[in-house]
């Protein structure tokens, strides 16, 4: 899992969305409790083909909380997928992210 070539090949062959951590409804309460401000930017690191940001975007568009949502992944194929009919924006080094969604791996 540690090589970019693995993920590039995987996402070239897989078109379906897959949520590695949890789906939106499993983490919605966390975002609600954060009381995110109207001008917040959110960066989802290691997004893969997760639908999390699509649901987050819909939720916050409805509640008018978030300025921008961005996905970031090591593989370009995943972040170039259209999301709600919108192609992911190019990276902007001038953006400052207040909230970062990162998968947490735990070992037993």
Residue 88 lies in a domain: yes
Query: What is the total count of domains within the chain?
Result: 1
**Residues with Cβ within 8 Å of residue 67, at least 6 apart in sequence:** 38, 39, 40, 41
pTM given for the model: 0.49
Q: pLDDT digits over 48-85, tens only? A: 777 777 777 666 655 555 555 555 555 655 555 555 44
Do the domain assignments include residue 56? yes
Domain of residue 15: give its range: 4-102
Q: What is the CATH number of the domain that holds 11?
A: 3.40.50.150
Query: Which residue is associated with the tokens 């897959």?
Result: 18
> What pLDDT digit, counting tens, does each position of 6-18 carry?
877 877 777 777 7
């Amino acid at each position: 899992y540690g090589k970019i070539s693995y993920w590039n090949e995987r996402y070239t062959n897989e078109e379906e969305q897959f949520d590695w951590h949890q789906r939106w409804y499993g983490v919605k309460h966390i975002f609600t409790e954060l009381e995110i401000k109207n001008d917040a930017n959110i960066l989802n690191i290691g997004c893969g083909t997760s639908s999390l940001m699509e649901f987050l975007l819909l939720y916050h568009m409805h509640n008018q909380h978030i300025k921008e949502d961005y996905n970031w992944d090591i593989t370009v194929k995943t972040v170039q997928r259209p999301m709600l009919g919108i192609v992911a924006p190019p990276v902007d080094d001038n953006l400052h992210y207040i909230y970062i969604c990162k998968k947490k791996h735990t070992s037993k």
